Amino acid sequence: MKATKKVQEVFADSKKGTLALATSIIFFAAVITIVELPCSVGIPVAFTGILIEAGVSLTTFVLYILLYLFFYMLIEIIIFSGAVFTKEIWLANSKAITWITLFGSIILFYLAFYYIFGL
């Protein structure tokens, strides 16, 4: 719990801390979206193709893309906004993290063997 006290001390000045944290969260969410976009490019490409085939104007096209990006980023905005407003960080105990990591690793190894060997 030592880390939690240190984090709470950082947010002691609520006005400046909240504004800086909110700005950082928006920036971080945008960076995450930009990094994730090449990994999940199928839906955005299909969406863009549908908009082009529909023959929408440039303004409408940009508005639809911004709407899509808003909903694409919504989960990051909700999670990080919760951190801003509560100013708390929830940490699981180390035993839970170990088991979650082990479970995730087993799933990834299974998927790797499935794709490589077709088992």
What does the pLDDT read at residue 59?
A: 92
What does the pLDDT read at residue 22?
A: 79
Question: What tokens appear for 75 in the block?
Answer: 């989960």
What does the pLDDT read at residue 60?
A: 92
Q: Where are the domains of the chain?
A: 2-88, 93-119
What does the pLDDT read at residue 31?
A: 87
How is the chain split among helix, strand and coil, in percent rounded to 5? 85, 0, 15
- Say how far apart CA 75 and CA 33 lie, in whole Å: 11
- DSSP secondary structure string, 28-51? HHHHHHHHHGGGG-HHHHHHHHHH
Q: Which residue has the tokens 């407003």?
A: 85
Q: Which segments in the chain show pLDDT lower than 50?
A: 1
What does the pLDDT read at residue 112?
A: 84
